[in-house]
Amino acid sequence: MWPLFSILAILYAALFLFKSKYHVLSEQIFEKYGLDIGLFQIKLSLSAKRRWVTNIPTMKKCKNFYKYGTIISLVLIIPSLIFLIWNLYKIITLAWPSTTPTTNQSGTGENSETKLDIRDELIFQPVIPGVTFPISDVGVYGFSLFLSTVFHELGHALAADCQDVKILGYGLLIIFIVPAAYVELSTAELKSLSLTDQLKVYSAGIWHNLVLSLLTFLLLFTVPTLLKPLYDYKTEGVGILQLKSNSSVNGPSGLKVGQILTAVNDCKVNKISDFYGCIKTEGQSEKGFCLPKTLIEEINCADQECCGDKNNGTFLSFQGRNSYCLPVRVATNSSVQFCNQEKETGTCIDENHECVKPVLPYLHEKLWLIKRGKGQKDFLFIGFSTDLISGIEVLTDFVPKYDILPVGLPVLLEKGLYYTCSFSLALALINIVPCVMLDGQFIIKALMEICCSPTKAFCISSTFIYLGSGLLLTNLLMTFMLL
């Protein structure tokens, strides 16, 4: 990841130098396309050519909507400060625990597992790819963050439009790798509004984030219902989303991403918990295969080299009433049922069948027969249960009803909704904090001017702004120290 960051940093530096040297050309590009290049940022500006809300009934509904949003947003000011104080206390207790940590061999008193535990305990975390979230989630992470910021700025724009404040422009912004949006309002027209109407515009972005967070939270629980026409949920097996590279379950005839697993031996799998439960129960059982006696005589290899050669994966030793060397794929495909080994003989459907059990070199090693859906061959695997669990890293309960549908789409949708809900709520809670360069700075000033005299309003609002800015900055710095 660091090489990619280095390349991006060099690219940004080159673009900034280009703008500095060819400033006339850069101004022409900005005037024609609205594209501007700053230090580690790219900005695309668009002009607002017309109003969005024009008729009176819609304007009244809009004003009422943002009036309620202002009230709810103002209620969050004190809880947001309390949250920052509580989070800072939690960071301090994690950084300097009361008990002395157990030192490792290097004597540092800290290892990677400790860092992971601390990271899991943190609620307020900066966005760092590969540290606070997986690299594989960069795309959905960025889109969710972008959607949350666009919805935030849309709130300011709509609220201002309802109050007849001119929107000078809006645009998109990329700060290094973080996407964002912005809106530019007429400051003179905004200041000419009453203080209560100014509050509606200032808090509109926070209100929008709260609404978006609520909507995505509700949608997150309805994903199985919404996708029911396209996907089966916890009824028809589990899908493979990620396999560990170079694991023992890979290979030409091994498991593949996107395959559906429907059973482990004779244990049916309908959901993820079933899969792991089946591995546990089947790993503790002693099961064999019921084969016709005539077939055993037909396919048994009398040559000791068939099962004596470790590189020969076709044949495997089986134990029934006698010892056999059978082609494992033929034996498992011809089995009429699984059978339990009881003493020297097993239980089969009738006397014309014999229960034969695989003979493996290591204790607790098993021959696993994992059924794959959609007419694919069963996956035969010889090994321990831990090999299966570690080899299959990510599963999904969603199984597509049609081959054209990707297995990972529902999980991607769930991740997008989860991240959007989290980011939108975080943006709301952070922006309501009375802090420099955040919405909370203007909200607390307007609120104090409504409640107090100008002198008291300035003193109280300044106190809140200093407190909020200090708490937010301290939380960020302390969090970076722990990561």
Per-residue pLDDT tens over the stretch 55-70:
667 778 888 899 999 9
Confidence of residue 124 (pLDDT cuts 50, 70, 90): low
Confidence of residue 137 (pLDDT cuts 50, 70, 90): confident
Per-residue model confidence (pLDDT) at position 120: 59
Residues 23 and 119 in one domain: no
Residues 48 and 157 in one domain: yes
For residue 191, which amino acid is it?
Answer: K
| Number of domains the chain is built from | 3
Per-residue model confidence (pLDDT) at position 379: 92
For residue 265, which amino acid is it?
Answer: N
Measure the CA–CA gap between 313 and 447, rounded to whole angstroms: 77
Confidence of residue 465 (pLDDT cuts 50, 70, 90): very high
| Whether this model's pTM surpasses 0.85 | no
Each residue's pLDDT tens digit, 26-85: 777 777 777 777 767 777 777 766 666 666 677 788 888 999 999 999 999 999 999 889
Domain carrying residue 288: 234-404
Residues above pLDDT 70, as percent of the chain: 86
What is the C-alpha R_g of the chain?
Answer: 32
Beta strand 260-264 pairing with 238-243: antiparallel
Domain assignment of residue 410, yes or no: no
Domain assignment of residue 161, yes or no: yes
In the predicted model, what is the mean pLDDT of residues 227-252?
A: 88
Domain assignment of residue 150, yes or no: yes
Measure the CA–CA gap between 213 and 197, rounded to whole angstroms: 24
- Does the pLDDT value for residue 119 go beyond 70? no
Confidence of residue 138 (pLDDT cuts 50, 70, 90): confident
Each residue's pLDDT tens digit, 275-333: 999 999 888 888 889 999 999 989 888 776 788 776 667 888 898 888 899 999 999 99
Single out the residue in 404, 426, 451 at which a domain terminates.
404
Identify the residue whose tokens are 């050519």: 49
What value does the mean pLDDT of the chain take?
83
Torsional class of 125: left (φ above 0), alpha (ψ -120 to 50), beta (otherwise): beta
Single out the residue in 404, 424, 453 at which a domain terminates.
404
